[in-house]
Amino acid sequence: MNFLKKVLVAFAWLTVVFAALFSYVSLAQATELQDKQAELTSVPKSAAGEYLKPRSLASIPEGEFGDKVRLGYKLFVDTQQLKDKQVGNELNCSNCHMNAGQQANASPLWAAYFAYPAYRKKNDKVNSYEERLQGCFTYSMNGIAPGKGSPELVALSAYSYWLGMSGLMDKYQVAGAVPELSDEELVKGGKRADFPVPEVIKQALTVEQRAKLPGKGFPSIDKPKLAYSPERGKVVYGAHCQTCHGDNGQGVEMKGVDSLPPLWGENSFNWGAGMHRVNTAAYFIYENMPFAKGFQLSNQEAWDVAAYINYHQRPQDPRFKGDVQGLKDKYHKHQGYYGEEVSGSVLGSEKSKEN
Partner 1 sequence: MPASAQLCAGCHGLQGQGIDPVGPRLAGLSAEYIQQQIKLFQTGQRQNPTMGPMAMTVQGEAIEQVSKYFSSQDVADVSTHVRGEKVSYDDPTERLVYQGDWERIIPACVTCHGPSGIGGGQFPRLAGQQANYLKAQLLAWQTGSRKGDIDGIMGDIAAKLTASEIDALSQYFSTLE
Stretch near partner 1 under the rule CB under 8 A, chosen from 9-17, 21-29, 98-106, 313-321: 98-106
User: What one-character DSSP code corresponds to residue 83?
Assistant: B
Q: Which is nearer to partner 1, 116 or 264 (CB)?
A: 264
Q: Is 81 in the site for partner 1 (CB under 8 A)?
A: yes
Q: Is 243 in the site for partner 1 (CB under 8 A)?
A: yes
14 Cβ neighbours under 8 A, 6+ residues apart: none
* Position among 85, 293, 330, 334 found at the interface with partner 1 (CB under 8 A): 293
Stretch near partner 1 under the rule CB under 8 A, chosen from 160-168, 245-253, 331-339, 343-351: 245-253
Q: Which is nearer to partner 1, 246 or 315 (CB)?
A: 246
Total binding residues toward partner 1, as defined by CB under 8 A: 35
Of 74, 61, 91, residue with least CA distance to 264: 91
Q: Least distance from C-beta 241 to partner 1, angstroms? A: 8
Q: How far apart are CA 22 and CA 196, in angstroms?
A: 27
Q: Least distance from C-beta 190 to partner 1, angstroms? A: 22
Q: Is 200 in the site for partner 1 (CB under 8 A)?
A: no
Stretch near partner 1 under the rule CB under 8 A, chosen from 176-184, 212-220, 274-282, 290-298: 290-298
Q: How far apart are CA 142 and CA 350, in angstroms?
A: 13
Q: Is 39 in the site for partner 1 (CB under 8 A)?
A: no
Assign residue 154 a region: left if phi > 0, alpha if psi is -120 to 50, beta otherwise?
alpha
Q: Is 96 in the site for partner 1 (CB under 8 A)?
A: no
Q: Is 60 in the site for partner 1 (CB under 8 A)?
A: yes
Assign residue 178 a region: left if phi > 0, alpha if psi is -120 to 50, beta otherwise?
beta
* Position among 10, 226, 257, 342 found at the interface with partner 1 (CB under 8 A): 257
Of 249, 214, 241, residue with least CA distance to 301: 241
- The string of DSSP letters for 279-295 reads HHHHHHHHHHTTTTT--
Q: Least distance from C-beta 6 to partner 1, angstroms? A: 38
Q: Is 76 in the site for partner 1 (CB under 8 A)?
A: yes
Q: CA-CA distances (angstroms) from residue 229 to 72, 108, 162, 173, 337?
A: 38, 29, 41, 49, 12
Q: Which secondary structure element, helix H or strand E, spans residue 258, and what is its range?
A: strand 257-260
Q: How far apart are CA 288 and CA 70, in angstroms?
A: 25
Q: Which is nearer to partner 1, 133 or 155 (CB)?
A: 155
Q: What one-letter code names the amino acid at 245? A: H
The angle formed by the CA atoms of residues 258, 352 and 29, to the nearest 5 degrees, is 120
* Position among 38, 39, 46, 74 found at the interface with partner 1 (CB under 8 A): 74
Specify the 3-state DSSP secondary structure of 264: coil
Q: Is 78 in the site for partner 1 (CB under 8 A)?
A: yes
3-state helix, strand, coil in the chain (%, to 5): 45, 5, 50
Q: Is 248 in the site for partner 1 (CB under 8 A)?
A: no
Burial of 224 (C-beta count, 10 Å sphere; 0-12/13-18/19+): buried
Q: Which is nearer to partner 1, 37 or 79 (CB)?
A: 79
Q: Is 73 in the site for partner 1 (CB under 8 A)?
A: yes
Q: Least distance from C-beta 321 to partner 1, angstroms? A: 36
* Position among 200, 252, 299, 353 found at the interface with partner 1 (CB under 8 A): 252
Per-position x/- string for 103-132, each x denoting binding to partner 1 as judged by CB under 8 A, each - no binding: x-----------------------------
Q: Is 58 in the site for partner 1 (CB under 8 A)?
A: yes
Q: How far apart are CA 143 and CA 150, in angstroms?
A: 15
Q: Is 55 in the site for partner 1 (CB under 8 A)?
A: no
Under the rule (CB under 8 A), what is the footprint of partner 1? 56-58, 60, 70, 73-78, 81, 94, 98-100, 102-103, 239-240, 243-244, 246, 252-255, 257, 259-260, 290-293, 296
